[in-house]
């Protein structure tokens, strides 16, 4: 049985099994995929998680733990286990998965786990721990298959068989020279189809993509996505082959980066855990709300300069909120599209200018359509054609301002070296609120009084 998520029946079923003996619980657990067990761990205490892990075969337990979200603290679960069980589970991990989990612990706890492992496994994980988490080195798996460029087909196949014994699957065969420097790639299909006396040098492809170990994970994700790669080799400064990054690792990166962008645009720190408690949520959000409050006072100061206009045309107060709100929505749409474009590509000056021009045109057209609707409403409710004209012009003007702000501000922040997803929303909201009040009040002062 494979599902995308648990329903209430599954939750009740596992909870009931936990109340029984181990044999009954084990019988229920075999019905679920390891990734489903990882999801269910969200509903369990650490003691209940430990009990389930101890009942599962090490291969299944390792997959379930590797599928746990970081917020569920899988490393703490590993620490709870007996050393022998923990060792069996870690040996089932890919090196990159083991490193990601162990990296969540402090140095002393990391050493406690690593000291129980085989020397080869411990050395591989220690090496990966030296790379920043968000770099290609931190993302790569040091398990890969490589052959020497001077090998013949038969020797290369024997080498592939030997190296693949402990690998569940592999995508690409990497070709290295005597100094273990990466010189190309070769497909297993080409090796199998070739004659026995063919050398790897005759099959090698030298036109391939690779990254340095210090490359940012976003760059890795872009390369794999752009060129539709299943894996990407990682090298050091002198092209020694260090490892590979596979497409399944990049899926996690894309999800992480998209989540960060969404949280930043909303004024929420990416450090806040999605399932965390209220204290870190308040800590990460309150500073941005205070900044937003300050900008709100700036917007609120605009009507103070038009008190006489508001006294004589009180109906404007109702329409101002509509114009400011529509401007805010328009700016948010432009901001989302622009930030996404920035995250996918480094925009040239021409592309940046074209982006702003497009948003100006979109703002004008959308503003005109919505302005006509507001104008008609003003004619029907207030029987005032000039008021309708003021509202039409204010709506068009504020939506153009929104398009300029929503596209131009993140591009400007990017040029200044500031993350556009973090600061753009508050600045843009200030623009649309200020002009949402200023345009209808200013135009009304000139045209209606």
The residue assigned the tokens 């998209």 is 258
Q: How would you class 303 by CB atoms within 10 Å of its CB: exposed for 0-12, middle for 13-18, buried for 19 or more? A: middle
Between CA 358 and CA 169 the distance in angstroms is: 46
Nearest CA to 270 out of 256, 286, 291, 282 is that of 256
**Residues 258-300: pLDDT tens digits?**
666 666 665 555 555 555 567 777 776 777 778 878 888 888 8
Residue 346: pLDDT band by 50, 70, 90 thresholds? low
Q: What is the predicted pLDDT for the residue at 404?
A: 94
Cβ atoms of 35 and 42 within 8 Å: the answer is no
The SS3 of residue 428 is: helix
The SS3 of residue 239 is: coil
pTM higher than 0.85, yes or no?
Answer: no
Give the strand pairing for 173-176 and 231-235.
Answer: unpaired
Sheet holding 182-186, edge to edge: 145-148, 173-176, 182-186
| Tokens describing residue 354 | 């074209």
Kindly state the helix (H) or strand (E) to which residue 242 belongs, with its residue range. strand 241-246
Cβ atoms of 125 and 114 within 8 Å: the answer is yes
Judge if 8-130 and 145-246 fold alike in CATH terms: no
Helices then strands, counting H and E runs in the chain, come out as: 21, 6
CATH number of 8-130: 1.25.60.10
Cβ atoms of 171 and 208 within 8 Å: the answer is no
- Segments making up each domain of the chain, as ranges: 8-130, 145-246, 278-447
Domain boundaries 145-246, CATH class: alpha beta
**Residues 297-319: pLDDT tens digits?**
888 888 888 888 888 888 888 89
CATH 3.10.580.10 for domain 278-447: no
Residue 4 has pLDDT above 50, yes or no: no
Cβ atoms of 192 and 180 within 8 Å: the answer is no
**Residues 365-415: pLDDT tens digits?**
999 999 999 999 999 998 889 999 999 999 999 999 999 999 999 898 888
**Residues 12-41: pLDDT tens digits?**
788 888 888 999 899 999 989 998 899 888
Terminal CA-CA length for the chain: 73
């Amino acid at each position: 049985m494979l599902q995308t998520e648990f329903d209430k029946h599954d939750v009740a079923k596992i909870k009931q099994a936990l109340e029984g003996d181990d044999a009954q619980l084990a019988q229920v657990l075999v019905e679920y995929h390891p990734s489903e067990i990882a999801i269910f761990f969200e509903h369990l205490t650490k003691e209940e998680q430990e009990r389930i892990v101890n009942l599962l075969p090490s291969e299944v337990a390792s997959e379930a733990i590797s599928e746990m979200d970081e917020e569920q603290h899988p490393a703490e679960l590993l620490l709870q286990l007996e050393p022998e069980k923990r060792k069996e589970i870690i040996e089932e991990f890919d090196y990159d998965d083991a490193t990601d989990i162990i990296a969540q612990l402090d140095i002393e706890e990391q050493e406690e786990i690593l000291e129980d492992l085989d020397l080869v496994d411990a050395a591989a994980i220690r090496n990966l721990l030296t790379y920043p988490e968000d770099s290609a080195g931190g993302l790569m798996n040091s398990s890969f298959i490589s052959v020497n460029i001077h090998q013949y087909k038969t020797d290369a196949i024997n080498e592939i068989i030997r190296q693949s014994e402990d690998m569940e699957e592999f995508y690409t065969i990497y070709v290295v020279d005597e100094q273990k420097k990466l010189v190309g790639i070769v497909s297993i299909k080409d090796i199998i189809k070739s004659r026995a006396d063919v050398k790897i040098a005759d099959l090698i492809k030298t036109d391939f993509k690779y990254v340095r170990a210090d490359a940012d994970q976003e760059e890795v994700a872009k390369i794999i996505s752009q060129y539709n790669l299943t894996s990407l080799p990682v090298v050091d400064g002198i092209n020694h082959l260090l490892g590979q990054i596979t497409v399944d690792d990049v899926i996690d990166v894309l999800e992480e980066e998209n989540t960060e962008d969404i949280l930043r645009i909303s004024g929420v720190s990416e450090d806040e855990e999605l399932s965390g408690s209220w204290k870190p949520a308040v800590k990460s959000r309150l500073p941005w709300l205070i900044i937003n409050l300050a900008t709100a006072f700036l917007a609120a100061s605009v009507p103070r300069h038009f008190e006489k206009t508001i006294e004589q045309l009180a109906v404007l107060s109702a329409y101002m909120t509509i114009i400011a709100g529509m401007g805010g929505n328009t700016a948010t749409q432009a901001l989302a599209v622009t930030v996404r474009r920035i995250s996918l590509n480094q925009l040239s000056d021409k592309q940046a200018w074209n982006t702003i021009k497009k948003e100006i045109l979109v703002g004008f057209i959308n503003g005109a359509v919505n302005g006509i609707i507001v104008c008609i409403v003003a004619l029907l409710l207030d029987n005032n054609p000039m008021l309708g004209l003021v509202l039409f012009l204010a709506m068009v003007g504020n939506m153009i301002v929104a398009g300029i702000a929503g596209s131009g501000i993140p591009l400007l922040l990017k040029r200044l070296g500031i993350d556009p997803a973090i600061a753009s929303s508050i600045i843009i909201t200030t623009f649309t609120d200020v002009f949402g009040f200023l345009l209808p009040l200013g135009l009304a002062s000139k045209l209606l009084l």
